Amino acid sequence: MREILLFGRLRGAFGDGPLPLPEDVRTAAELRQRLQRDYPEIAERLSASSMRIAVNQTLVSDEDAVMLSPGDEVALLPPLSGG
C-alpha cells in the first residue's frame, strides 16, 4: 500500500501514522486536491502556502509534472523556517 508520511502539525491534524495514498492519485496537485476534498475541516492548512509536498525527499509544487510511482516516498510538510 502506498503511504503519505506526515510531519509537524500535520501529523496531529490527521492522527498518528501515515495516511494511505489512493491508487488513483498520480501527481502532487491531485494529492492536494484529494486531501482538501476529503478533509474540508482543515482544507486551509492543506493549501500550497501552508503545506509542502515532498516526493523522494525533494520538494515539488503543484505545477511540477512529477508522476507518483509505486515505491515513491511521499511526505506532507508544514512550512519550514530557519534562523
Query: Can you give the pLDDT at residue 82?
Result: 61
User: Which pLDDT band holds residue 83 (cuts at 50, 70, 90)?
Assistant: low
Amino acid at position 26, single letter: R
Only one residue has cell 494529492, namely 31
pLDDT at 8 > cutoff 90:
no
Sketch out the chain's domains with CATH numbers.
22-83 (3.10.20.30)
Condensed to tens digits (0 to 9), the pLDDT of residues 12-53 reads: 888 778 999 999 999 999 999 999 999 999 999 999 989 999
Is pLDDT larger for residue 51 or for residue 1? 51
User: Which pLDDT band holds residue 58 (cuts at 50, 70, 90)?
Assistant: very high
Rounded Cα distance between 56 and 82, Å, is 22
